[in-house]
């Protein structure tokens, strides 16, 4: 018995060649994207990508047009295809225990045959030799299929040694934000700059409190200090906290971390605006992540449609 499909959303965007996420009103069972610009092209180019419910992350079925000779293609699991995004799920993903190394560099690059999706948040576990990051969450800022991934906001250059093992779980984003973020670094300056390990959505004018109760990380003077944000980047916040005379902030050794530490973090406590906005921003959504294998080239016009099963018929 077949179940008919109903259109739930459609749209058009101009590609910049980079991966993108399309938000959807409900979970789809079928998603298709077509390259309007390249339809009928003389060069070999992907003109259509399809995703079906049940596909693994990164998979896609393709139609390739070469001088009007249409052929079928595919992108395997873990590749640059489609990934369904469901922020209604709050359970951490399964443990992925295939990582074999992590560099003590900035950023940290993890060698793994099964990397997580680009842009996802991962909780690092069992990072042998680099236990300073075990249990911490990081944003994945680059992925090489079946090879490695990058923790773009990690400050690993000060660590004594690289990791010889690196497992992870994908951590779903929370519905409401901003929220607690782990601290990667704090500068000793007239306006302390706090780097966090996961991209935040704090705003200029927000008030934060810094929590650094463990002397193993240095800069104990900043623990419990409240400050206001004066500037932001994706993973840093500049504050009005004067930390110039504080002792230096630094992560402890892997051996110290193995004995147990309390990780420093920052929390959002208020804002200047006359009404609450950022602390009540609901960021949960369904969506389809289009990686570089299905998003088209720069300036290409891309049409997409999402369908769901219609059980009312």
Decide if pLDDT at 108 tops 60: yes
Asked if the 176-282 domain carries CATH number 2.40.10.10, the reply is no
- Read off the pLDDT band of 158 (50, 70, 90): confident
Phi, psi values for residue 141, rounded to 5°? -105, -10
Q: Where does the chain hold its CATH 2.40.30.180 domain(s)?
A: 96-171, 176-282
Decide if pLDDT at 201 tops 90: no
Rg (CA), the chain: 22
- What is the pLDDT at residue 4? 76
The whole-angstrom separation of Cα 173 and Cα 89 is 9
Decide if pLDDT at 191 tops 70: yes
272 versus 79: the higher-pLDDT residue is: 79
E strands, 103-250, in order: 108-112, 121-125, 137-144, 148-151, 166-171, 176-177, 181-186, 193-196, 207-211, 226-232, 236-239
- Read off the pLDDT band of 275 (50, 70, 90): very low
The whole-angstrom separation of Cα 248 and Cα 188 is 6
Instruction: Say what the pTM is.
Output: 0.65
The residue-averaged pLDDT of 232-246 equals 96
Decide if pLDDT at 175 tops 60: no
Decide if pLDDT at 116 tops 50: yes
The whole-angstrom separation of Cα 313 and Cα 305 is 20
At 292-303, the pLDDT tens digits run 999 999 999 999
The residue-averaged pLDDT of 110-116 equals 95
- What is the pLDDT at residue 176? 52
Any idea which residue has 């992870």 for tokens? 168
Q: Tell which CATH architecture fits domain 96-171.
A: Beta Barrel (2.40)
Alpha helices (H) along the chain? 254-258
At 131-155, the pLDDT tens digits run 999 999 999 999 998 999 999 999 8
- What is the pLDDT at residue 73? 92
């Amino acid at each position: 018995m077949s179940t008919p499909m109903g259109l739930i959303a459609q749209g058009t965007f101009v590609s910049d060649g980079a991966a993108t996420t399309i938000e959807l009103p409900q979970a789809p069972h079928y998603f298709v994207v077509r390259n309007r610009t390249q339809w009928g092209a003389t060069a070999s180019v992907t003109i259509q990508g399809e995703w079906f419910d049940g596909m693994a992350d990164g998979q896609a079925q393709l139609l390739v047009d070469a001088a009007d000779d249409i052929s079928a293609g595919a992108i395997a699991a873990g590749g640059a295809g489609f990934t369904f995004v469901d922020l209604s799920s709050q359970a951490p993903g399964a443990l992925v225990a295939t990582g074999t190394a992590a560099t003590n560099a900035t950023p940290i690059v993890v060698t793994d045959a099964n990397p997580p999706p680009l842009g996802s948040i991962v909780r690092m576990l069992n990072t042998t030799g680099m236990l300073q990051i075990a249990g911490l969450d990081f944003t994945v800022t680059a992925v090489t299929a079946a090879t490695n991934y990058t923790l773009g906001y990690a400050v690993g250059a000060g660590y004594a040694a690289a990791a010889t093992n690196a497992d992870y779980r994908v951590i779903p984003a929370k519905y409401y934000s901003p929220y607690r973020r782990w601290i990667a670094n704090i500068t000793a300056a007239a306006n302390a700059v706090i780097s966090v390990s996961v991209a935040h959505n704090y705003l200029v004018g927000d008030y934060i409190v810094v929590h650094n109760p463990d002397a193993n990380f240095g800069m104990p003077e900043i623990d419990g200090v409240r400050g206001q944000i004066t500037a932001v980047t994706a993973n840093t916040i500049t504050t009005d906290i004067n930390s110039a005379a504080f002792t230096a902030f630094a992560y402890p050794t892997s051996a110290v971390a193995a004995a147990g530490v309390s990780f420093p973090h920052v929390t959002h406590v208020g804002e200047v605006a006359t009404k609450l906005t950022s602390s009540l921003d609901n960021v949960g959504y369904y969506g389809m992540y289009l990686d570089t294998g299905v998003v088209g080239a720069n300036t290409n016009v891309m049409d997409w449609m999402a369908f769901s099963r219609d059980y009312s018929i």
